[in-house]
């Protein structure tokens, strides 16, 4: 009991109270002044919590790009209350993200680029208005606009080469863009910007965040 208190940095009365609850639930066995051991049910529950922790920490670090220390700390705070179905869905999402080749799903790289640029902008005390536009519920990827509809560009992200190509083509924040047509397989898409027809690949369309007009 003393070891637990020192490890968790809590006082003995707090440990005693928690142990009583765990004994009453049948999760541990505790001999007075003796060792504390997990029961079979307690061990199963502990492994379940640990599985949730690993899944959440990996998601926060590997997918969201949060530093390891923060990811582990946040996983500890969430693991006890998050539902099994939510953790399973997060695990499925990570397997999907890891299985699809980068050239088929560059959206994750686009997201990481966006995060890095946003952090940089915040550190420089700029970009607040832009962040508001990007996080607006109305902001969607360009390829989600139906053919024949128009939208305003609010953000251009992606890898540097993709972003530079899009900007050189005149696709910049604030410009109006019309979805002309989409290929049967969804790649490429034909858009009109300032009267000019442009053909964009999926990776380029995914890098353009827009707000549909009307």
Q: What is the CATH number for 83?
A: 1.10.10.10
Residues 156 and 67 in one domain: no
Question: Is residue 79 domain-shared with residue 114, that is, in the same domain?
Answer: no
Q: Is the pLDDT assigned to residue 192 strictly greater than 90? A: yes
Report whether pLDDT(17) > 60: yes
Domain closes at, from 64, 79, 99: 99
80 shares a domain with 55? yes
- What does the pLDDT read at residue 131? 43
Kindly indicate the confidence band of residue 130, based on its pLDDT and cuts at 50, 70 and 90: very low
Q: How far apart are CA 30 and CA 40, in angstroms?
A: 14
Distances (CA, A) of 9 to 4, 28, 32, 86: 8, 21, 21, 31
| Chain mean pLDDT for the chain | 81
Task: Give SS3 for 173.
Answer: coil
Residues 141 and 56 in one domain: no
- Shared domain for 114 and 160, answered yes or no, is yes
Q: What angle do CA 164, 107, 162 make, to 5 degrees?
A: 10
CA dist., res. 30 & res. 38, Å (int): 9
Domain ends where: 66, 99, 132? Answer: 99
* Total domain count, the chain: 2
DSSP character at residue 185 = T
The fraction of the chain above a pLDDT of 90, given in percent, is: 24
Model confidence, pTM: 0.51
Which residue, 107, 99, 93, is CA-closest to 205? 107
DSSP-based three-state secondary structure for 99: helix
- pLDDT of residue 184 exceeding 50, the answer is yes
Whether 129 shows a pLDDT value over 80: the answer reads no
| Whole-angstrom distance, CA of residue 187 vs CA of residue 136 | 26
Alpha helices, DSSP H, located in the chain? 2-8, 12-24, 40-58, 68-78, 84-99, 107-123, 128-134, 160-168, 202-206
- Please state at what angle helix 68-78 crosses helix 40-58, rounded to 10 degrees: 140
Q: Is 60 exposed, middle or buried (0-12, 13-18, 19+ CB in 10 A)?
A: buried
Task: Give the model's pLDDT for residue 101.
Answer: 67
What local confidence, expressed as pLDDT, does residue 133 receive?
A: 41
When pLDDT is averaged across residues 27-49 and rounded to a whole number, the result is 90
Residue numbers of the domain that contains 25: 2-99
């Amino acid at each position: 009991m003393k070891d637990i208190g020192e490890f968790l940095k809590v006082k003995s009365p707090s440990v005693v109270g928690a142990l009583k609850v765990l004994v009453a639930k049948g999760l541990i066995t505790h001999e007075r002044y003796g060792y504390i051991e997990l029961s079979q049910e307690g061990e199963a529950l502990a492994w379940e919590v640990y599985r949730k922790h690993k899944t959440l920490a990996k998601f926060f670090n590997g997918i969201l790009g949060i530093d390891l220390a923060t990811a582990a700390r946040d996983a500890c705070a969430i693991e006890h209350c998050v539902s099994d179905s939510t953790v399973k869905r997060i695990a499925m999402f990570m397997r999907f993200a890891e299985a699809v080749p980068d050239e088929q799903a560059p959206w994750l790289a686009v997201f990481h680029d966006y995060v890095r640029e946003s952090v940089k902008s915040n550190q420089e005390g700029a970009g607040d208005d832009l962040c508001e536009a990007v996080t607006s519920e109305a902001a969607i990827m360009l390829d989600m606009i139906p053919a024949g509809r128009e939208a305003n560009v609010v953000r251009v992200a992606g890898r540097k080469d993709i972003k530079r190509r899009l900007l050189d083509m005149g696709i910049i924040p604030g410009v109006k863009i019309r979805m002309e047509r989409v290929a049967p397989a969804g790649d490429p898409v034909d858009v009109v910007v300032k009267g000019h027809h442009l053909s964009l690949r999926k990776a380029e369309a995914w890098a353009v965040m827009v707000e549909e007009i009307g």
